[in-house]
Amino acid sequence: MIVNAVKNGVNWVRTTSDLNHTLMATAATGAVSSLVPGLSATSATFVNLGSVSAMVGTQLWVALVGGPTMFSNMERTRFGDIQARLFPKMGMACMSMSGLGMASYLHSHSPDSALYLLASSLLINAVNSFIVFPVCTGYMYERRKHEEGSEEQKKASMMFGITHGVSNLINLGSIIANLAYLYILSERVTNAW
């Protein structure tokens, strides 16, 4: 009975859309974030450092290692298909980590520039997750529908290029905000190190 319930739950999650996955992750992040005020200062700091580190690691891996490696070694259609699944998951994870990072930072700090960097990262990841990634993916699939060199294909390719570029710039903004946040933390702990 329990095994069937778990199988049904896993199948349900598998068949839902990336948007539903992102919404579920957002709800779970909100629920977990509500537990942060009950943590000790050390535990909240651990959650903060772990969340931000996981987020930066994910962003840097996808942008600098995974993406370029797949681009160089995969057929373009298959690469596009995998990126269409990978980017929403990256956005979902980074958005959740941003939320946890903010909640755990506020546990022991008043709003300051470090919090604003975390907030900007959260906003950037939310925009990418809910707007830019789905639009970019839509244009990618739209360009595939049309004959190579047709006006429709050229227009869809141009829009894909624009939205993909915007997505990359937005993601770069989040990476910069996260690295700046980590730098601020490094300055603060230097004397205690």
Q: Which residues of the chain have pLDDT under 70?
A: none
φ, ψ (nearest 5 deg) of residue 124: -60, -45
- Please report the pLDDT score of residue 88 as a whole number: 93
DSSP 104-138: HHHHH--S-HHHHHHHHHHHHHHHIIIIIHHHHHH
Give the pLDDT of residue 171: 94
pLDDT given for residue 191 in this prediction: 79
Give the separation between CA 89 and CA 21, rounded to whole angstroms: 8
Residue 60: per-residue pLDDT: 96
Q: For residue 163, what pLDDT is reported?
A: 96
How many residues are there in the chain?
193
Separation in Å, CA 191 to CA 106, 169, 188: 22, 35, 7
Query: Given this model, what pLDDT does residue 107 score?
Result: 92
